[in-house]
């Protein structure tokens, strides 16, 4: 697979989900992956690395994914954030879109869908 010249930030409080996403992205050719385990860390990592795309869980301890998305987009309105959630309710989807998410993935994620969203975003 051709390497994708982009930096991706993965933010999820589950190490298992982060590893699964990292494996999918690595198989898909992504060469630079940064990780965060909660919303606060995601905001810090975003500022440090300025990733091209962020995959962010909604439900996390401390700062939620929606709160982190709002903070990231406040500092960088062009930030491309894909929200992940196992609770794919319409209200969560609406909150994510209203906060500026560019897409929404339902957990458990499928490899093909993750890579399709990454290429499109």
Q: Which domains does the chain have, with CATH numbers?
A: 4-120 (3.40.50.2300)
Q: Which of 81, 84, 17, 24 is nearest to 54 (CA)?
A: 81
What are the residues facing 4 on neighbouring strands? Answer: 30
Asked whether the beta carbons of 66 and 89 are under 8 A apart, the reply is: no
Report which of residues 88 and 47 the model is more confident about: 47
User: What's the pLDDT score for residue 121?
Assistant: 87
Tens of pLDDT, residue by residue over 55-79, are: 999 999 999 999 999 999 999 999 9
pLDDT at residue 20 in the model: 96
pLDDT in tens, 18-33: 999 999 999 999 989 9
């Amino acid at each position: 697979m051709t390497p994708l010249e982009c930096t991706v930030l993965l933010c999820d409080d589950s190490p298992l989900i982060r590893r699964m996403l990292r494996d999918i992205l690595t198989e898909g050719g992504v060469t630079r992956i940064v990780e965060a385990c909660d919303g606060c860390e995601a905001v810090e990592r975003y500022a440090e690395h300025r990733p091209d795309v962020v995959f962010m869980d909604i439900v996390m301890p401390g700062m939620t994914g929606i709160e982190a998305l709002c903070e990231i987009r406040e500092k960088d309105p062009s930030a491309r954030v894909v929200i992940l959630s196992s609770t794919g309710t319409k209200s969560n989807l609406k909150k994510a879109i209203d906060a500026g998410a560019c897409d929404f993935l339902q957990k458990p994620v499928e490899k093909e869908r993750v890579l399709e969203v990454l290429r499109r975003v």
